[in-house]
Structure 1
């Protein structure tokens, strides 16, 4: 019987290699290291604990099934984040298909929510409490398309670089920058419209 392996001391590359060879303890260490990352990423998208848990667990199932195909072209953390992000985007798409009028259809009909409000120079969230800002932003994020919502969350809230987002979403840097530009514009317009409606009440 060989010496006991200290899995916590191994880097991700060594753990992945061992897990590919069937070492479940190595895989369990990877799960321990990144379970919070996957759960928090799912929560950022769906904002429901049970749903986020289901999505993160499904992500780990897919990680295990696809582990032998992982070639190490990117960091393990980037790879698993891409998996959970794709699951979150799929979940949001399913929700949108069940809506009577999707955000995309609304934009086609009226030209986009950003056309409904006049541009303003001041910060629309100025003067609100932190909790009020959080609630307004959450409501506004829910009005974005799933792709715009994803890029906003990854860049503005998760502080990922354009390059990291491009890897996760499987697109070019130029596409990320374009999506982020339009996502920010739509988010700002949605925030202003939400505040306008609240002020009218």
Structure 2
């Protein structure tokens, strides 16, 4: 009896076809796995970027809120005193008392005249000692709290109409605050917060 009849040949061919099909399926599965892994890696990188941007935005908002709060505090203290003649005192979280002078004068303004010029070495000018402060924020806001940040706060008081010699009791108060010893206006740190308010007696 022959072992190489038509039936045996068909069985061999089917076996070869099944083996080829299985090998092909294995190859496709591996390619699909690689593609899926690549897509997952790309998505992960994108998510990491979004998380970084979210952290940066949160940090900027926190700094901006504190800067604005400090600028508002100076404006409120100026408004609560007899502006042009009196002084006020603001105490920071570390227990440091900062005198707020309301006499015309103070920190220099920028070229546009609409914000404080932080390039000025204001600490070197004795006449401006009460027109700036390094406000310390602690967590919690107590003397024994952990230092979180130091904010450079400066202000200017201008007598409106003084240039023309006309009598006036109206003042333009410009206050700017920024996080000290850090960059500003970038991804992680906001630009200085500035408030300009007209005040009078």
TM over 0.5: no
Rg larger for: 2
TM-score (normalised: structure 1): 0.24
TM-score (normalised: structure 2): 0.24
Q: Which has the higher helix share?
A: 1
Q: Which has the higher strand share?
A: 2
